[in-house]
Chains A and B, each alone.
Chain A
Amino acid sequence: MARLRSTLGVLFSRSAVRYGLALLCFSALGLVAAKTLRIESDFTAFLPPSATPEERLLIAQLRDGLVSRLMLVALHGADENTLARASRGLAEKLGHAPEFDYAANGSLNQFAVQGEVLMRHRYALSPNVNSQHFSAPALRAALEEQLAQLGSPFGMLSRTILARDPTGEFLATLRQLDPGSMPALRQGVWFSADGQRAFLIAQTRAPGFDSVRQASAMATVRKALAEVNPKVEITLTGSGVFAAESRRLIERDAVNLSLCSAIAILAMLLFVYRSALPVALVLTPVTFGLLIGVLVVQALFGSVHGITLGFAATLLGEAVDYPNYLLLNTAAGETARGAARRIGRTLALAVLTTVASALALTLSSFTGLAQLGVLTMVGITVAGLATRYLIPWLLGDRVLDFRRLHVPAGAAAAQAGWPRMIGLAATVCGALWLASTYPAWWERDLASISPVPEEMRAMDLRLRREMGAPETSLFLASRGASETAALQVAEEILPVLQEWKQAGWIRSYDSPAWYLPAPATQTGRLRSLPDTPTLQKNLDEALHGLAFRADAFAPFVRDVAAARVQAPLTRAAYAATPLGAKLNALVVELEGQWLVLTPLVGVSDPGKLAASLSAMPEGGSRGRSSDTTQLVDLKQISTQMVDGFSRAALRQAAVGTLLITVLLILGLGSLKRTLHVAAPAAAALVVTAAVLTAGGQRLGVFHLVALLLVLGIGLNYALFFERTPADAAERERTRLALAVCSISTFTTFGFLSLSATPVLHAIGSTVALGALVSLVLSALWARPSFS
């Protein structure tokens, strides 16, 4: 007896050391993860890799383009006066905030710096400047017009610069800047047509995808408004806002839902085992798998994407199955080591097939999906190894004692032929439905990849419409070997654009060539300016007999003289102005070439424009084929990109499936058994996809990922079911193990489907449904028949 006690003591202390070691290992890993983990949430990581220059342009625009940096601010919930005052106060405050390049609210005095640039360079910018423009008759006509305006009470604004600019070049320059797409003005600031909302546009310094800095910019806006008038309500929208908001939502959902499902699973495990030790043991492989998986992703990719992390939580649902399967399979009085040896082969196959299905993801050239793949592979492998070796090692010779629940068999039903036939019929119907409705259920909209909830996108669209600033997806892209060359090409297309506008093919266009003409054009204009004696002579002649004082326009003569020796205007001159920001977005370098983008608004028929472009002589006036203007349809490119990606993903999935089949054949050593295992898993995929699409869901990238997961889970179930049990007791143990496994999967993914984030919702609902179908079909088909 004493000997037994001392043996037990040794055993206990030895296993205590083992637990201590495991805990130490775990803490060390946790510490490393906490110290080094870098979470990013740039949703473009989940965009398809870009093959063509146009696609790269799209990605660049989405990530860091003009549109991505614009924050739309709507003020509401007060009367017009209050809103207008709040708009002024807010614009004033944001104008000085370090997070913003500028904040515009439509008020005239806002663009002071920009106005100065345009004023200083008006003779290089105004399209009216030519050699005849400053002749005596032309000047006379201009002066007479100014005299008439001087009498009117409403020309006060232009009158302040009359002495410098009697020919009105500044106004001619301003008039080019497209006013067509601006919202209505009330009390001098932008308002919605109904006067309910005041609008501001602020450009953030941070790129749109930098969710952390975008969030701080949003906080700045809210704080500034609270200082101006805390009673006014505010709505913020824009790509950057989306990035910040979706990061917040993903983080919130990932934390909350993971917590919920963890609690639910814990409760279920406690109910099943009624003892703390088995529960702790079940959780061990999962936590190790997750930690090591995340660390490997971090090591390989430099950071972990927020979505990947959200998804990591879902691994919990699958990885927790292995230790459950092991522990619940141990017969009364059997050590875990013994059980592990017995089910080792099945477990290995279950792990390997899941790894194979995730391999397809790893091969993906999307960073986001590759991260998911690596995390799944590493996490599952570690969890599998921990189940097979760590748990038996921890337990040593100790026999776990827990009450084994009895699960009613319902086996009679499964043994009967007709439920199997129903399963078969459901699968056939599902396949027929999918085939007949293809490709309507294929998601082709790039927006589906965006983690932004639907209602936020709808709000953005509505505000944009109210602002009269529709999102443009059509551009003319003028290509050149240098910035100068590209600008030249963009300038040559201006007459064509004017024709299109007159013909009503487009409503308006916004050419960078207006405010940044090619250097040659600028020099041409400046050269046509008369020298001072000539100008003075013409001016004196023009002034003769008019009411103006003889020396009234001396500032004009000085300005023209200065303009004649001025260097051409460059992009740098616009630094820190709204136009500068716009130019940086519309004049871009891409792979050694320069592109000048001209956004088109209100295009009735893109086909007509493309045809009109291709009918033009190649290469414009200089006949170089590299210098051309093309129509770029971002919407179409994005659709192509998604299509291309979906095809690639399908190919990868096919490779994964092939790999799985080979693994199964090798592992099971029999074609018939392989069929037993593979058929329910494959059928579950078909039924799940059919049910989802029948419910009006379009299948996108994330559904595909989720379906791969379903495949992995389905194969696990089928493998567990398929293993021939030695006796009735083992059959009962298997039933219990599978019930626990499927409940945990269903719980985890069920919680995930509650997420407001489209990605998490898609994965959650797909896997929850898929797991259920897999379980039923495996129960019906995979179990070996006892004849």
Chain B
Amino acid sequence: MNVLRLPAVALIAFIALLASSTESLAQAGVFDLVRLMQLLSLAPEAEVAYTEKKYSSLLAEPIVSSGTLSYRRPDTVEKNMTAPRSERFRIAGEELIVVRNGAERRLPLSSQPLLSAFAASLRGVLAGDAALLRSHYRLALEGEEQGWRLEMIPLEEEISRYVERITVSGRAGRIEEIEVRESSGDRSVLQVR
């Protein structure tokens, strides 16, 4: 179902883009990656509520979790899960700090390529840093300012072994959904409420 829908969405977005192209050209500027990054970089720091669904071939039904997601400039991202249990992930500086079951674990981002690529995707999108994103991913942008979709495909073999692609979609400077599709077929969809 999902697999079928994705190309369809892409197609619609593409047609919409074609249809609107003459119109947007007539406007002040084209909606492109530069514009999107500009919009994202101007977005205010915020704390938003999210719901995440995890789909896996091992699961009869997706696992649903929820909490808050916050971003502070220049590079602090925090995911605070509150349900079904309390768990905190925080990327700050060169570290990932995980608090689970009351225990804190610190991991240097550079220790695992997967970690640093993951952190880069979050930070790059939140800060509107195209260069950071490009150092780890091939980027493809679809849609328009009021409904865009940024697809990121890992460049390094060490990452693509686990992550097939990360898709972020949103409206203007606001991120609405982050989908991580793993190479195993598992995926997770995080939606901002």
- Measured between C-beta atoms, what is the minimum distance from B79 to chain A in Å? 8
Contact (Cβ within 8 A) B162 A156: yes
A185 within 8 A of B: yes
Partner of A186, one of B111, B180, B184: B111
Partner of A549, one of B59, B85, B115, B162: B59
Contact (Cβ within 8 A) B184 A157: no
Contact (Cβ within 8 A) B188 A153: yes
Chain B proximity mask over A533-559: 1 for CB below 8 Å, otherwise 0:
000000000000001111011000000
Contact (Cβ within 8 A) B110 A186: yes
> Which segment of A2-10, A29-37, A144-152 sits at the interface?
A144-152
Contact (Cβ within 8 A) A188 B162: no
- Measured between C-beta atoms, what is the minimum distance from B156 to chain A in Å? 9
Pick from B60, B118, B188 the residue with the most CB of A within 10 Å: B60
Contact A548:B111 (CB < 8 A) given known A109-B158, A151-B52: no
> Nearest residue in B to A187 (C-beta to C-beta)?
B110
Contact A153:B112 (CB < 8 A) given known A188-B158, A549-B58: no
Contact (Cβ within 8 A) A548 B59: yes
Contact (Cβ within 8 A) A159 B85: no
B63 within 8 A of A: yes
Contact (Cβ within 8 A) A154 B111: no
Contact (Cβ within 8 A) A151 B65: yes
A107 within 8 A of B: yes
Contact A152:B58 (CB < 8 A) given known A160-B184, A185-B108: no
B167 within 8 A of A: no
Contact (Cβ within 8 A) A156 B59: no
Contact (Cβ within 8 A) B63 A150: yes
> Nearest residue in A to B110 (C-beta to C-beta)?
A186
> Nearest residue in A to B135 (C-beta to C-beta)?
A81
Q: How far is the CA of A156 from the CA of B118 in the complex (A)?
A: 11
> Nearest residue in A to B52 (C-beta to C-beta)?
A151
Partner of A187, one of B60, B116, B186: B116
Query: Which residues of B lie under 8 Å from residue A150 when comparing CB positions?
Result: 54, 56, 58-59, 63
Chain B proximity mask over A172-201: 1 for CB below 8 Å, otherwise 0:
000000000000111110000000000000
Q: How far is the CA of A156 from the CA of B158 in the complex (A)?
A: 12
Instruction: Count residues on chain B whose CB falls below 8 Å from chain A CBs.
Output: 35
Q: How far is the CA of A151 from the CA of B56 in the complex (A)?
A: 10
B96 within 8 A of A: yes
Q: How far is the CA of A154 from the CA of B122 in the complex (A)?
A: 14
Contact (Cβ within 8 A) B96 A154: yes
- Measured between C-beta atoms, what is the minimum distance from A460 to chain B in Å? 26
A400 within 8 A of B: no
Query: Which residues of B lie under 8 Å from residue A163 when comparing CB positions?
Result: 58
Contact (Cβ within 8 A) A547 B61: yes
B74 within 8 A of A: no
Contact A157:B58 (CB < 8 A) given known A151-B63, A187-B110, A188-B111: no
B182 within 8 A of A: yes
Contact A154:B98 (CB < 8 A) given known A159-B184, A160-B184: yes
Contact A157:B60 (CB < 8 A) given known A151-B52, A152-B87: no
- Measured between C-beta atoms, what is the minimum distance from A254 to chain B in Å? 47
Contact (Cβ within 8 A) A185 B112: yes
A59 within 8 A of B: no
Query: Which residues of B lie under 8 Å from residue A148 when comparing CB positions?
Result: 85, 100
Q: How far is the CA of A163 from the CA of B100 in the complex (A)?
A: 23
B113 within 8 A of A: yes
B114 within 8 A of A: yes
Query: Which residues of A lie under 8 Å from residue B186 when comparing CB positions?
Result: 159
Query: Which residues of B lie under 8 Å from residue A154 when comparing CB positions?
Result: 89, 96, 98, 115, 118
- Measured between C-beta atoms, what is the minimum distance from B180 to chain A in Å? 7
Contact A549:B60 (CB < 8 A) given known A107-B158, A153-B188: yes
Query: Which residues of A lie under 8 Å from residue B138 when comparing CB positions?
Result: none
B161 within 8 A of A: yes
Query: Which residues of A lie under 8 Å from residue B56 when comparing CB positions?
Result: 150
Query: Which residues of A lie under 8 Å from residue B115 when comparing CB positions?
Result: 154
Contact (Cβ within 8 A) B58 A548: yes
Q: How far is the CA of A347 from the CA of B145 in the complex (A)?
A: 105
Interface residues on A, range: 20 to 34
Contact (Cβ within 8 A) A109 B161: yes
Q: How far is the CA of A424 from the CA of B143 in the complex (A)?
A: 102
Q: How far is the CA of A185 from the CA of B94 in the complex (A)?
A: 12
Q: How far is the CA of A154 from the CA of B54 in the complex (A)?
A: 13
- Measured between C-beta atoms, what is the minimum distance from B86 to chain A in Å? 11
Q: How far is the CA of A150 from the CA of B161 in the complex (A)?
A: 18
> Nearest residue in B to A106 (C-beta to C-beta)?
B111
Q: How far is the CA of A109 from the CA of B89 in the complex (A)?
A: 25
Q: How far is the CA of A547 from the CA of B56 in the complex (A)?
A: 10
A51 within 8 A of B: no
Pick from A153, A154, A160, A186 the residue with the most CB of B within 10 Å: A153
Contact A547:B182 (CB < 8 A) given known A185-B110, A185-B112: no
A572 within 8 A of B: no
> Nearest residue in B to A109 (C-beta to C-beta)?
B158
Chain A proximity mask over B101-134: 1 for CB below 8 Å, otherwise 0:
0000000101111111010000000000000000
Q: How far is the CA of A160 from the CA of B65 in the complex (A)?
A: 21
- Measured between C-beta atoms, what is the minimum distance from A149 to chain B in Å? 9
Q: How far is the CA of A38 from the CA of B165 in the complex (A)?
A: 61
Contact (Cβ within 8 A) A156 B63: no
Contact A547:B60 (CB < 8 A) given known A151-B52, A153-B118: yes
A416 within 8 A of B: no
A108 within 8 A of B: yes
- Measured between C-beta atoms, what is the minimum distance from A767 to chain B in Å? 55
- Measured between C-beta atoms, what is the minimum distance from A278 to chain B in Å? 74
Q: How far is the CA of A160 from the CA of B182 in the complex (A)?
A: 10
A637 within 8 A of B: no
A162 within 8 A of B: yes
Chain B proximity mask over A569-583: 1 for CB below 8 Å, otherwise 0:
000000000000000
Chain A proximity mask over B151-191: 1 for CB below 8 Å, otherwise 0:
00000001001110000000000000000101010101000
Query: Which residues of A lie under 8 Å from residue B54 when comparing CB positions?
Result: 150-151
Query: Which residues of A lie under 8 Å from residue B182 when comparing CB positions?
Result: 156, 159
- Measured between C-beta atoms, what is the minimum distance from A602 to chain B in Å? 22
> Nearest residue in B to A162 (C-beta to C-beta)?
B58
Contact A108:B52 (CB < 8 A) given known A152-B89, A159-B186: no
Query: Which residues of A lie under 8 Å from residue B96 when comparing CB positions?
Result: 154
Q: How far is the CA of A150 from the CA of B60 in the complex (A)?
A: 13
Partner of A552, one of B52, B59, B116: B59
Query: Which residues of B lie under 8 Å from residue A548 when comparing CB positions?
Result: 58-60
Q: How far is the CA of A547 from the CA of B65 in the complex (A)?
A: 13
- Measured between C-beta atoms, what is the minimum distance from B39 to chain A in Å? 25
Contact (Cβ within 8 A) B114 A156: yes
Q: How far is the CA of A668 from the CA of B37 in the complex (A)?
A: 102
Q: How far is the CA of A184 from the CA of B107 in the complex (A)?
A: 11
Contact (Cβ within 8 A) B111 A185: yes
Chain A proximity mask over B56-98: 1 for CB below 8 Å, otherwise 0:
1111110101000000000000000100010101000000101
> Nearest residue in B to A550 (C-beta to C-beta)?
B60
Q: How far is the CA of A152 from the CA of B36 in the complex (A)?
A: 29
- Measured between C-beta atoms, what is the minimum distance from A150 to chain B in Å? 6
Contact (Cβ within 8 A) B113 A187: yes
Residue contacts A-B, CB under 8 angstroms, 9 given:
A108-B112, A150-B54, A151-B52, A152-B87, A154-B118, A156-B163, A156-B182, A157-B162, A547-B60
| Known interface pairs A159-B184, A550-B60; 20 further A-B residue pairs with C-beta atoms within 8 A, sorted by A's residue number | A148-B85, A150-B54, A150-B56, A151-B54, A151-B81, A152-B87, A153-B180, A154-B118, A156-B162, A156-B163, A162-B58, A188-B158, A547-B59, A547-B61, A547-B63, A548-B58, A548-B59, A549-B57, A549-B58, A549-B60
Question: Closest 10 A-B residue pairs measured CB to CB?
Answer: A185-B111, A552-B58, A188-B113, A186-B110, A549-B60, A156-B162, A151-B65, A547-B59, A151-B63, A151-B54
- Could you list which residues of chain B lie within 8 angstroms of chain A, going by C-beta atoms? 52, 54, 56-61, 63, 65, 81, 85, 87, 89, 96, 98, 100, 108, 110-116, 118, 158, 161-163, 180, 182, 184, 186, 188
- Could you list which residues of chain A lie within 8 angstroms of chain B, going by C-beta atoms? 107-109, 147-148, 150-154, 156-157, 159-160, 162-163, 184-188, 547-550, 552-553
